[in-house]
Amino acid sequence: MNIKESFTNWIYEIQDRICTALEDTDGKARFREDEWKREEGGGGRSRIIENGEIFEKGGVNVSTVHGELPELIRKRFEVDKGWFYACGISLVLHPQSPMIPTVHANYRYFELYDEEGGDPVDAWFGGGADLTPYYLFEEDVRHFHQTCKAVCDQHHPELYPKFKESCDRYFYNEHRGESRGTGGIFFDYLRAKEECNLAFWYTLATRCGDAFLSSYLPIVERRKTEPWGEPERYFQELRRGRYVEFNLIHDRGTLFGLKTGGRIESILMSLPPRVRWDYNVKHDPASREAKLLEVLRSPRNWVD
């Protein structure tokens, strides 16, 4: 079995594992599944959870799409013609409680061909995972980063610092001068190079994905009984507005999906369920809300 087949199998298998564990954690809601086909080739399996005890809205989606390169990718890679295969898993969870962070993870693999059915002329992995807290519990953020770092360190000590910095740079609301959340890891265009062949990146990406549940569920368990009320809910809905701003203004993945005719409802499952935009809201500098903003404005190192 080659890397393409192995990774494709893995995304379906990890989708099952993650959904089962999330349903157990939620205890009330179940994922509903939509299989969809892409006219030009391939399709996907979207799984959405809504109105749960823990999860207000979330999606764990896999897709495997292939065919002729869409015009937008041809332009980006400056090629006149070409074929591709792309597959990946993408998940976003928006909890009910403002004390539990939103989480996002995505692992994907891409192959490019000069001719239909030919050998790949280029191939790479991309992905990452990042946390978006509303109220800051430093031990949660440290746990999340620590889990990501442990996986990366198994492969090479330079990976985590690099991926952490890329994550801070990528998930940044330029127009607000603040990060979307407290980061995690982000990587793209991991190609075969010197001692790091594609199998090396395959192992890294799948291990990162395999570690998702252990990076996030302990945080959910710790925070699910944390009390909250209307003021915390209000702040969460305002901050969810920033999440929407990032995804619709800056996120390359979202915009790319929308412009190349991806399935809209699967792409936009990442948007939070209830959101607010109020004018020019200010927070007391001593408040927990201001403390979060401080961290979003100057990203920190969370592990040594």
Q: In the complex, which residues of this chain contact its own copies (CB under 8 A)? A: 34, 48, 50, 57, 59, 175-176, 237, 241, 244-245, 248-249, 255, 258-259, 264-265, 268-269, 271-280
Output the smallest distance, CB 31 to its own copies, in A. 11
Output the smallest distance, CB 174 to its own copies, in A. 8
Output the smallest distance, CB 264 to its own copies, in A. 6
Minimum CB distance to its own copies smaller for 111 or for 237: 237
Residue 93 backbone phi and psi in degrees, to 5? -125, 125
Parallel, antiparallel, or unpaired for β 183-190 and 55-68? unpaired
- In the structure encoding, which two tokens stand for residue 190, read together? 């991991």
**What contacts 264, CB < 8 A, 6 or more positions away?**
258
Output the smallest distance, CB 28 to its own copies, in A. 17
Minimum CB distance to its own copies smaller for 59 or for 128: 59
Minimum CB distance to its own copies smaller for 218 or for 273: 273
Q: Which of 114, 59, 113, 105 is nearest to 86 (CA)?
A: 113
104 has catalytic annotation: yes
Output the smallest distance, CB 237 to its own copies, in A. 8
The gap from C-alpha 271 to its chain's centroid, in whole angstroms, comes to 12
Minimum CB distance to its own copies smaller for 45 or for 143: 45
Instruction: Name the strand (E) or helix (H) holding 167.
Output: helix 159-170
Minimum CB distance to its own copies smaller for 258 or for 303: 258
- Catalytic annotation, pick one of 94, 104, 143, 145: 104
Size (the chain), residues: 304
Per the CB < 8 A criterion, the answer to whether 8 and 45 are in contact is no
Give the whole-angstrom CA distance, residue 113 versus residue 200.
Answer: 21
Per the CB < 8 A criterion, the answer to whether 256 and 70 are in contact is no
Give the whole-angstrom CA distance, residue 201 versus residue 156.
Answer: 11
Minimum CB distance to its own copies smaller for 181 or for 262: 262
**Cβ atoms within 10 A of the Cβ of 121, count?**
13
Output the smallest distance, CB 249 to its own copies, in A. 5
Would you call 265 helix, strand, or coil by DSSP?
helix
Residue 239 backbone phi and psi in degrees, to 5? -65, -35
Per the CB < 8 A criterion, the answer to whether 125 and 190 are in contact is yes
Residues forming the active site: 104
